[in-house]
Amino acid sequence: MEFVQARDLRQSVGDGFRQAYAAEPLRLGRAPGRVNLIGEHTDYNAGLCLPIALEHSTWVAVTPRVDGVVRVQSVQGGVWRGTVDDRDGWASYVTATLRELGVRGADVYVDSDVPLGSGLSSSAALICALVVALGSTSVAAAIAAETDGVGAPTGGLDQTISMLGHTGEALLLDFESMQRDRVSWSPEAAGLSLLVVDTRVSHAHETGGYGDRRRECEAAAARLGVANLRAVTDPAPADPRVRHVVTEIRRVRETVAALGAGDWAEVGRLFTASHASLRDDFEVSCAELDLAVSSSVESGALGARMTGGGFGGSAIALLPTVDLDRIATEVAAGFSAAGFGAPQFLVARASDGATLIA
């Protein structure tokens, strides 16, 4: 089975910039995609999340300009030219970041090995890579660029882990207290791997059902007379949207406890329970994600769940490393039998966050 490999793109990005603009880039930045282990749709509800940064990253070469022109060339997205005030498809992520940092013009070159539209935060990786390439380390600026500048209703998880990830660790994010705690994530030491199944069903936060779910949560909090759904004290609310948020926050706590105890079977069980809640109570899954989860578990994974905003994207499966190829092959066969397009696979390892490249 072939897996998408992470690549060091610094040389090719620098060369691409020189070829595109006949000049040397001022700086290079790199920022990873992410996998959220558990805690989905809880960040904008002041809840808990447990993401890791991936080895797979977006790389950006940039030189600011003084004439107000923005030129962007992406290996994945093509060529674009405009100003920082323009909002135009994928280039909006670049112009929004430049606006947020007060940069009025720039030449930008982009390459990435984070699969696009896969629920692995390729958009946040682009923004964070550009933030560090422009000499900033501001998580707040990265969040504002995507939420305010692009209009994507994300809750801040993606940008935070892309900026602050660390090898061998997950980051427990509390979006009520804004506390960040590092949690050891080393399934490899236990003979396990985290398989990512990219269903190849694309989604977009700024135009998809993600925003609908956020509005539903805000409306539910208003009906209940609380500031956010983190404040709900009922352990099993009747409203399915609220029930998912309340039980998902609980599952994050239980996952951290299971990791502390080295109980990987319990981690897998919690993954699968999370997916059932996202599928049934929050209704953000799809047939391809459900099949990725069910076929992984039936083939021997300890547990599996969709990751990211949903409506497409990726699932993750915690499984014995010795069974990695076999389970991936069986999942692919299940997709073929169901008449779905072929998924692609990568192995997720907790890695470092955004870096300014010398």
Report the alpha-carbon distance of residue 306 to residue 314 in Å, rounded: 6
Is 181 considered catalytic here? no
Neighbouring CB atoms inside 10 A of 78's CB total 11
Contact of 41 with 244, CB cutoff 8 Å: yes
Contact of 252 with 246, CB cutoff 8 Å: no
Report the alpha-carbon distance of residue 64 to residue 83 in Å, rounded: 12
Burial of 22 (0-12, 13-18, 19+ CB in 10 A): exposed
Which residues 6+ apart lie within 8 Å of 263 measured at CB?
Answer: none
Which residues 6+ apart lie within 8 Å of 271 measured at CB?
Answer: 37, 38, 302, 303, 304, 305, 316, 318
> Across-strand partners of 71?
81, 107
43, 111, 158, 239: the catalytic one is: 158
Burial of 19 (0-12, 13-18, 19+ CB in 10 A): exposed
Report the alpha-carbon distance of residue 35 to residue 106 in Å, rounded: 30
Neighbouring CB atoms inside 10 A of 270's CB total 25
DSSP run (H or E) holding 12:
helix 10-21
Report the alpha-carbon distance of residue 137 to residue 117 in Å, rounded: 25
Contact of 150 with 114, CB cutoff 8 Å: no
Report the alpha-carbon distance of residue 343 to residue 274 in Å, rounded: 22
The one-character DSSP state at 187 is G
Which pair of tokens denotes residue 40?
């989905």
Catalytic positions, please? 158
